[in-house]
Structure 1
Amino acid sequence: MKLQKKQKKLFALLGAGAMLIIPAIAFEWPQANVLQDKFYSFFGQKRSDTLSTSLIFSESEEAVCADKGEISIIITEHDDGFNWFESSLGTCAVVAHEDSLLTVYGNLDTDNFNTDLYEHPSVTTGTKLASTGNSAWQETDSYLEFQIIDTQNQNYINPLILMPRLGQKHALTVTNVSLKNKFGKVYDLETQKNIPSGVYKIYKSRQDNAVPYKTTLLVNGTESERISYNTIKQKDSELAIEGHNLYSAGELYPDDDIMLLGELYLPHGKDTISIIVTDFSGKEYSRVFTLNVL
């Protein structure tokens, strides 16, 4: 299947939203022996004061091209000067594919880099790039930093929706759920059941590794919010995840401990809040809270 057809199927997935559709595989894994426990950090996770646009591996292996294409950029300095790269990726290769997609391979071992690529930039699936090292400005337990960029729509794409499927090792949790109103008052839903009516943001505990495929909120059986972690977009000068609004990193992760599930309105009466958090295998983790709304 050609890349053009695969990308059309991908963006049908992104636009569908209401259901989890497994897309056609567009890329191979950029290193061998890939298991869920080989990841240091996932796409969409909090990363300092922004969002991670990468899938970061936790073990050093040989990095290879995920599909055929053309080497468009090789970066060997920390200060690369390209707008896409908001933090240093260290020694890095960028491969251009059909349909305006780029794959980015960062944190490569400078001394082990495949210098033939300077003279022969055309690559195929499995072309060696380098061993992964610690050339980037990131934690010592992290190695290959892999990104997929859609230059036409100027989005980062979550690599997990374009790669061969893996089982979900890191189970999602829905714990320490709380509401926050526009005045900043917080209600702990684990202990408080009498809540004033109004508009709220709802949060759960943030996990260090696992990130959902999507989060869904229902109030009295009607969907109130759905946040998708398929892509990361731009909101003004910030990176953002799309729900009913574009949520920046500061809105998604107000601090290191909590993660936004979405926004909802609670009318007067006896209200039921249903929270559904879905992982990339399609497994759902849910909680239901029944409240007296005053």
Structure 2
Amino acid sequence: MHFLNIGHVYETTARLVHALTGEYPGGADSVPAAFRGAVSQLRPRPAEAERFTISYEDGAWAEHCRQEGIFAHIVGPATPSDGPTREDWDSKVHQAVQHIHDLNRDLGSLVDLLVTDVVVVNSGQDGGGSANKLPGLVVMSPGGHWDVPEYAECLVHEGLHTGLFVLDMVEPMFNLSARELEKDEYRALSAVKIGQKRPLHAAFHAAVVAVPLMYMQHVRGTGDLVERYGASLRDACTDMRTQREHFTPYGQMLLDGMCDWVETLDFTQVARAISSPE
């Protein structure tokens, strides 16, 4: 599953940096800062050179999203937050990053690479968002029951979406345009919205990001997501494979890797996929 592999994602990110700036990063350690500099060309606001920034409903990112109608269901209804609430959010986000590193160091490094800005708001929603037009930005609205593991899962979920955006920019996954993929004939079962069909690229994204979340819960010794999504992920993979012709050879490789894994749900394979130099 190349979409999870730290070497593959780093190399592809370096290729994106080269495409946007004309220069290759000098080595793996320089890729995160180079990525931030490169994607700053694609966004209305630059990314900091290191780590990530945290802002709230009154920040510049939230205002941009409101003006452009991005994440409207999250940012639109956001209510004002006070100092203690923000301190708790900040603490939970930083603890979540450490939690991801504790579960799997390389998965943590992927989040460090791909997440550049976090916007935390209280909107009454329970979830997060990311967009290909704003690579590196994660918007989240913590649910009332959220603790560090839920923050961590949100960061991995949205960070891996950004990873897919990067991979797709460098090596397209589909041989149809995003507009074409919105048509009814290209819809596929969702692994998460069980029983529903979504555009093929959205269904693929949802299935991909479910894998590391299931892995994280497995490592923690909880199986809620495995029980909830194991069968539906298998059904989604079977359905997407009926439309394999609409994936490019690169996309087919990514699809096949996930579809093969879901037949076993062997989480040692996920750990190997994240870190293996193969």
Range class of TM-score, shorter chain: under 0.3
Name the TM-score, length of structure 2 as normaliser: 0.27
Name the TM-score, length of structure 1 as normaliser: 0.26
Task: Select the structure that is richer in strand.
Answer: 1
Q: Which has the higher contact order (CA 8 A, sep 6+)?
A: 2
Task: Select the structure that is richer in helix.
Answer: 2
From the CA coordinates, give the structure whose radius of gyration is larger: 1
